[in-house]
């Protein structure tokens, strides 16, 4: 079984970042959008990050424009929006595809390891979340409707 540490992600600035950098941390990996009904979840995600980062939680945000074209901006515009409106300080990456032929390898792996409702792999909407343990194994998938604070107990169990 492979782990998330085997993947590389492209930062908002365009450089490649090995996820090996996060080895030993609990990760919450989220496909985000800045013009979505779930966008206010950035506030809850940042609160989780502030509450648990010192204990080993890192949240990784991946903007995606595949659902209703709700993240049309450039990477710079998206980063500025997240920081100005929600004070996001957790790592945000460059815009990606989470479904279809251009799906990034990381999200192919996440979807295979933690399937959605009725065993489907496809991500249904923005703010789908994947919880990863300190060994890099995908533990759980959360729907867009799951609020960040509802995941606190699962995160605490892994910390």
Q: Annotated catalytic sites, by residue?
A: 36
Tell me if 142 sits within 8 A of 132, measured CB to CB. no
Beta bridge partners of 61: 30, 92
Task: Please identify which residue in the block is written with the tokens 């409707």.
Answer: 145
How far is Cα 91 from Cα 59, in angstroms, rounded to an integer? 7
Give the rounded distance of the alpha carbon of 131 from its chain centre: 9
**Helix, strand, or coil (residue 103):** strand
């Amino acid at each position: 079984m492979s782990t998330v540490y085997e993947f590389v992600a492209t930062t908002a600035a365009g450089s490649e970042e090995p996820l090996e950098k996060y080895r030993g941390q609990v990760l919450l990996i989220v496909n985000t959008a800045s013009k979505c009904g779930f966008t206010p979840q950035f506030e809850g995600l940042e609160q989780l990050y502030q509450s648990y980062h010192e204990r080993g939680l890192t949240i990784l945000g991946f903007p995606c424009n595949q659902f209703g074209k709700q993240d049309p901006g450039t990477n710079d515009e998206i980063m500025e929006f997240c920081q100005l409106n929600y004070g996001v300080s957790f790592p945000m990456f460059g815009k990606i595809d989470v479904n279809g032929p251009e799906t990034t390898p990381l999200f192919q792996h996440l979807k295979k390891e933690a399937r959605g409702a009725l065993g489907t792999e496809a991500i249904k909407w923005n703010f789908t979340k994947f919880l990863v343990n300190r060994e890099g194994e995908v533990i759980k998938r959360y729907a867009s409707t799951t609020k960040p604070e509802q995941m606190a107990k699962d995160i605490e169990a892994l910390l």
